[in-house]
Each structure stands twice: as structure tokens, then as C-alpha cells.
Amino acid sequence: MPASPCESAIVVRDLRKSYGDIHAVAGVSLEVEPGEIFALLGPNGAGKTTTVEILEGYRKRTAGDVLVLGHDPGRPEPHWRARIGVVLQSTSDNADLSVREVLQYFRTYYPRPRSVNDIIDAVGLVEKSEARVRDLSGGQRRRLDVALGILGDPELLFLDEPTTGFDPEARRQFWDLIRQLKADGKTILLTTHYLDEAEQLADRVAVIAGGVILQTATPATLGGRDSGATTVTWKEDGTVHSLRTDRPTEAVRDLSTRFDGEIPELAVRRPSLEDVYLAMISEREAQTAGATT
Amino acid sequence: MTATAPSRPAELPSLATTSLSRGSLELKQFMRDRRSMVFTFALPLILLLIFGSIFNKDIVPGVTFSEYFVAGMIASGLVYTGFQNLAIVIPQEREDGTMKRLAGTPLPKAAYFLGKGALVLVSLVVQVAALLLIGVLFFKVHLPSTPEKWFTFIWLLILGLVCCTLLGIAFSSVPKTARGAPALVSPVVLVLQFISGVFIIYAQLPHWMRQIAALFPLKWLCQGMRSVFLPDSFQVQETAHAWELGKVALVLGIWIVIGVVLCRFTFHWQRANEH
């Protein structure tokens, strides 16, 4: 049953996963549209990887309804596998093969693979294509992981913490690669704990903590970033003053009148994604602490 | 199939294609991994050279210990390449992400096992050829003298290969970690070799030891190989005063069934904590 173009790529309703008394995922619902980059944000142990691995068909769910490309991932089958790409967290397999060899071998597993040269070029491993996998740096290794994930030309790509351990330059290049995949029409589900990564790449983000989704929104509106209090800071009498306000323009005008022109060290700052994210997580922690005592 | 809806996948590659691809990858990895080359491939050859040279005396008139030992080393080769190699490598692949990555592709699961089988087959054929070459050149070993003996040799190799490969895959679920695997697997192999008549003449072992060895395939593989490489007059030296080839086939067959059942019910693609 092929999914029609307007159908959601991923639909999750009240997903639960328990290990004995531990509820790793405690009622997650989300929907990912075709062609969208959706980021799952959350601290370590929040349930990100468990959720994603259920969607990838690696783990069985305890309860809930899940459809990935119109198919139940609890019963993974090869035709469905050919339509998704999976980039797992760190691996160290195929160490004795060269980059090109690994791709040539894995190419034979797919019905409609992309060409090895194109893939090597797309992930920027041209200079390393004959190098043994064990000799790659962490970032190069991760590029190979992505290369293997997109080799089968999937409609949907899962990326689990793809840039952990990257230097800033490598991360920028990696982001360009992901943007190119989006431009090619791929749907991408990304987990990360880098907020700038989510802000750079994601169309929408969901914040997950304690196995539940706290909020789903665009990076610009998460936690009321677009309407929330803005911080205005300036220097007066040798000290930095700061004012939180819902009407920053008015505050600046008042200051401008008071200083009669230039305001020393003026800064007007909207809450960053990090600010709202940290506020959401700490609020959640306060609630759970309150509930257990 | 014509191009219909773009989301409809094309025909998946066949089991034959993917198994050959896996087999080729396995061989390449095997040859580039120094550990597997030394411990699985070269060790039996080195042992044959050392033991064959030290104990090159007649055990009965006309049969040297070296000849006896070559039969045992070929049987051991099956255990090294099939059982020991797989029981150590598969836990590694469970830990380094090989199996998890493969499980995320459309690769048929059977292709993974058939690829392993192909690796065992190729490395075994080369190893047996090398063992025979050393035996013939240095220790006056005689190649099978009749078509019947060649036939026995071939079916022993095939049954032994299937049996050891299955048991290696089954045993790969026993070690908790990849680091711990060699410490669990190698002693099993070494003890079986001592009590099954590889290093010491089987008939000279204590009775209770032989009773234990008779439960496992290696004793029967050794005995079968002796029927191929030693003169029939040696039969009287066997504990049953016969080669017992029917019994050899039966025991290997039973272990193959046990291996299939164990693989079917105990094999897991991921670490135990990842379900």
C-alpha cells in the first residue's frame, strides 16, 4: 500500500514503551509531513532514541499506533526498509574495508540505489574514498554513516544525533548536506541535543523529556519565543542594567529619550531557542520533583 | 514491472545476489583482519608443522603419528573456521553495529548467514588444501587412495562445515560481550581437541574422557577423517575396531538439527538491552 503524496510520512499516536516499571516513552504523539525536517530535542535519557528506534523498526512498542510511510514499523519488511534510510548513533563496523568498498557492497542490498560516485561526492568523502574505514576521523566516519543511510535513495531518513563530536566547520558542512537532501524532497527525522542544529535545520521541533512531548512548534515560535518577554540591556552609571518587557520598542524609546540619543551598550534580545528549551526542561523537572515528594 | 507510482519500490535484489555480495565482503574482511588470519587460518598449519615434526614416529607399524595428526587437524580446521571463528566474530558484529546496520537495510536476513557460510566454505577449502600439501610434502601423508575414500572425505567436509557453522552461530549468543567471547570459545575448542583424539591418540585416553568426547561432533569428525587418510588396517586400533562411518553421519546429523533449532530460537540481532 504505497502512501499517497499528501499522507503524513510519520504518524504516532500515544506511543508507549516500558521496560518493567520504567516508562521510557510515556505517551508520545507526533506527525511528520512529507518533505519536512522534523527535530526531536531533549536531554539524554528523554526517550529520543527509544522513540526513533521504534519508528525505525528496531524496537517493539508497548502500546500506541504508529505508521511510517503508511506501514507499521512493528512488522518491518524489506520493501518498506528499502524506502527508509537509517543513520544510527556511533558504530564502528566494516573497519577493514575502504569507503568505496563499503558503499559498493551495501549498494547490492537495495532495489534502486544511487551511484556510489554521486554519494561519495554528496557527503564530501571524495578524497577519502579509498581510505580504510578504520582510518577515518569521527566526522568522516559520520559522513559515511549518512552515505549508507541515503544510498538506497530513501523517501524518509532518520538521523540519530548525527553531529555529536563534530568540530564547528564539519557541522556547517554537514548541515549543508542535510539541506541538500531536503531540497531533493526527502523527509528527515532528526534527533539532536544541539539547539543551534535544530534551529538551523528543522521546520518543526518537538521537545521531549521524561518520555513525553512537552511541545511541538516551529523553532521560531517554540515556548512563545515570538511573543514572550524580550530582554533589553544597557549600561548606566558604570553598571549593566537589564529589563524584561513585552514592549521592547517602547522601552528603547524611553531610554533613547532619557539618554538623549545613543544608549550605551544597548542590546535587545529575544529569548533564544536555548532559553525557552532550558526553561521548558527545568519547569518539567520542577513538576516531576513536586509530584514525587 | 513498469514505472508506476514513484513510491512503489522496484524489485528487491534476490537472495542469491545479496548472499554472494555478503560472502565477498566477509572474505575481504577476513583476509584483512590479522587476528582471524592467524588464529583461524594459520594456526592449524603451524600446529601441524610443529606437532608433525616432533612426533614423527610410528604409532603402529606403517602409520606415523603425523598421519594420525593430519586427520585430526583437518577435523580441527572445520572447528576453527566454522565454530570458533563465527562464535567470536558474531558477538563483535553485534557490538560494533554491523548487525544493527544490516537490520536497517532491505538485506534478507538469510543472506547474512549464507555469507558467513560462504566465508567458512572458502577458507576451509584453502586451509584443507594447505594442510594436505604440508602433510604430503613433509609427513608422507597419502591422499585418499580410492574413489570411496574421496567420497567419504567430501561428505565429511560438507556435513562438518554445516554442523560447525550452525553451532558457531548458535554459540555466538552465549558470550555477553565481544571481549569475553574468545575466553569462552577457545577453551571449549581446546578441551574438545584434547579429549577427541586430535593431539593424543583417542584409544589411549581414559574411558570417561572418551565417553564425554563421544557426545560432541569433533571426535566423530576425527574418526571419519582417519578412515580417509589412514590404511583400513588401522581400524583395529579404533575403540570400536571399525571406522563406524554410519554413526559418524548420524551424530553429525543430530548436531545439525540441534544447531538449526538453537539458531532459530536463540539468535538475536541486537544486544540484549536493545529490544
Q: CB–CB of B86/B263 below 8 Å?
A: no
Q: What angle do helix axes B85-95 and B109-139 make, rounded to 10 degrees?
A: 140
Interstrand relation of A37-41 and A204-209 (parallel, antiparallel or unpaired): parallel
Task: Give dist(CA A55, CA A49) in Å, integer.
Answer: 10
Give residue-wise pLDDT tens across range B56-102.
Answer: 788 888 888 888 999 999 999 999 999 999 999 999 999 888 999 99
Query: What digits encode the pLDDT tens for the residues A160-174?
Result: 988 877 788 878 888
Q: Of residues A229 and B137, which shows the higher confidence score?
A: B137
What span, in angstroms and rounded, lies between the C-alpha atoms of B82 and B163?
A: 8
- From chain A, pick out residues whose CB is under 8 angstroms from the CB of B17: 108
From B151, B160, B131, select the one nearest B227 (Cα to Cα).
Answer: B151
Q: In what order do the strands lie in the sheet with A212-217?
A: A84-87, A156-160, A187-192, A37-41, A204-209, A212-217
What pLDDT is stored for residue B163 in this prediction?
A: 96
pLDDT at residue A6, as a whole number: 57
Percent of chain B whose pLDDT exceeds 70? 95
Q: What is the mean pLDDT of chain A?
A: 89
Q: Are A265 and A234 in contact (CB under 8 A)?
A: yes
**Would you list which residues of chain B are within 8 Å, Cβ to Cβ, of chain A?**
5, 7-13, 17-18, 21-22, 24-25, 28-29, 32-33, 93, 96-98, 100-101, 103-108, 270, 274-275
Task: Output b/e per residue, B209-226; b: 16+ Cβ within 10 A.
Answer: ebeebbebbbbbbbbbbb
Extended strands (E) in chain B: 58-60, 63-64
Q: Residues B228-242: what's their mean pLDDT?
A: 89
The DSSP annotation for A43-59 comes to -TTSSHHHHHHHHTTSS
C-alpha cell at B126: 584453502
Alpha carbon of residue A211 to chain centroid: 16
For chain B, how long is the longest CA-to-CA vector?
78
The grid cell for B219 is 571426535
Measured between beta carbons, the chain A residues lying within 8 angstroms of B13 are: 108-111
With a cut of 80, say whether residue A115 has pLDDT above it: yes
Helices (H) and strands (E) in chain A, counts: 9, 12
Nearest residue, CB atoms, A108 vs list B18, B96, B100: B18
Mean pLDDT of B181-210: 92
CA distances from A113 to A118, A167, B10 (A): 11, 30, 10
Q: How confident is the model at residue B274 (pLDDT cuts 50, 70, 90)?
A: low
pLDDT score at B74: 94
Question: Would the pLDDT of A23 be above 80?
Answer: yes
- Tell me the one-letter amino acid at A126: V
Contact assignment for A108 to B21 by CB distance below 8 Å: yes
The Cα–Cα gap between A134 and A93 comes to: 9
Please write down the long-range contacts of B186-195, taking CB distance under 8 Å and 24 or more positions apart.
B186/B84, B189/B76, B189/B79, B189/B80, B189/B83, B189/B84, B192/B79, B192/B216, B192/B218, B193/B72, B193/B76, B193/B79, B193/B218, B195/B219
Half-sphere exposure for A261 (CA within 13 Å, toward CB): 1
What is the percentage of chain B residues whose pLDDT exceeds 90?
A: 64
The residue whose grid cell reads 513585552 is A246
Summarize pLDDT for B128-159 with one digit per residue, the tens: 999 999 999 988 888 998 999 999 999 999 99
- State whether residue B45 is helix, strand or coil: helix
Q: What is the mean pLDDT of residues A193-201?
A: 89
**CB pair distance less than 8 Å for B106 and A82:** yes
**DSSP secondary structure string, A77-115?**
-HHHHTTEEEE-S----STTSBHHHHHHHHHTT-SSPPP
Residues of A with CB under 8 A from a CB of B: 2-3, 53, 56-60, 69, 78-79, 81-83, 86, 88, 90-97, 101, 105-106, 108-112, 148, 152, 155
The pLDDT, as a whole number, for residue B154 is 96
Interface size between A and B, measured as CB pairs under 8 A: 93
